[in-house]
């Protein structure tokens, strides 16, 4: 199965930009507007290669999502790349155990390098997340 990236981001403009970049890189992807949508998606049996996770979102934020993910053995080991505009030190983020972190505004070269670590240039396909209107 081709690599898949799950984008968990509440900003529609950034979601669209990330989707375009992933499409250009040949990655399959799914989109969730908040942590609750992402949890529901993963409970459906999907297993992305990596999750791009915003920390500040309504409903279920990135911190809460990651706590849930770490407590769920079936999805606990999916790597997380944090996306944040916040300024955090290593100690504040240590329990999240991110594979990587991207600061907003996102540096395109760093984003591409990060995506390429997890996405092997698979077929271009968008996978809708149930319930988000995609």
Q: What's the pLDDT band for 2 if we cut at 50, 70, 90?
A: low
- For residue 127, pLDDT over 50 is answered with no
Q: Average pLDDT for residues 112-124, to the nearest whole number?
A: 71
Q: Average pLDDT for residues 77-92, to the nearest whole number?
A: 88
Residue in this structure with the two tokens 């998606």, named with its chain if needed? 41
Residue in this structure with the two tokens 């942590």, named with its chain if needed? 35
Total-model pTM: 0.85
Rg (the chain; Cα; Å)? 13
On average, the pLDDT of the chain sits at 86
Give the phi and the psi of residue 8 in degrees, each rounded to 5: -120, 100
Angstrom distance (rounded) from CA 98 to CA 82: 6
Q: What's the pLDDT band for 120 if we cut at 50, 70, 90?
A: low
> What is the pLDDT, as a whole number, of residue 63?
93
Q: Which of 8, 16, 11, 23 is closest to 78 using CA atoms?
A: 8
Which fold does the domain 4-122 belong to in CATH? Rossmann fold (3.40.50)
Residue in this structure with the two tokens 């507007």, named with its chain if needed? 33
b/e code 5-36 from CB counts within 10 Å (16+ = b) = bbbbbbbeebbebbbebbeebbbbbbbbbbbb
């Amino acid at each position: 199965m081709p690599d898949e990236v799950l984008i968990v981001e509440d900003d529609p403009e950034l979601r669209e930009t990330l989707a375009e970049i992933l499409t250009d890189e040949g990655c399959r992807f799914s989109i969730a507007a908040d942590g609750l949508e992402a949890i529901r998606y993963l409970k459906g049996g999907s297993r992305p290669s990596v999750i791009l996770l915003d920390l500040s979102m309504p409903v279920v934020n990135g911190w809460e999502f990651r706590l849930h993910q770490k407590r769920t053995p079936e999805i606990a080991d999916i790597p997380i790349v944090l996306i944040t505009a916040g300024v955090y030190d290593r100690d504040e983020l240590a329990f999240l155990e991110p594979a990587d972190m991207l600061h907003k505004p996102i540096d395109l070269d760093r984003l591409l390098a990060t995506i390429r670590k997890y996405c092997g240039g698979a077929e271009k396909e968008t996978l809708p997340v149930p319930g988000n209107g995609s």
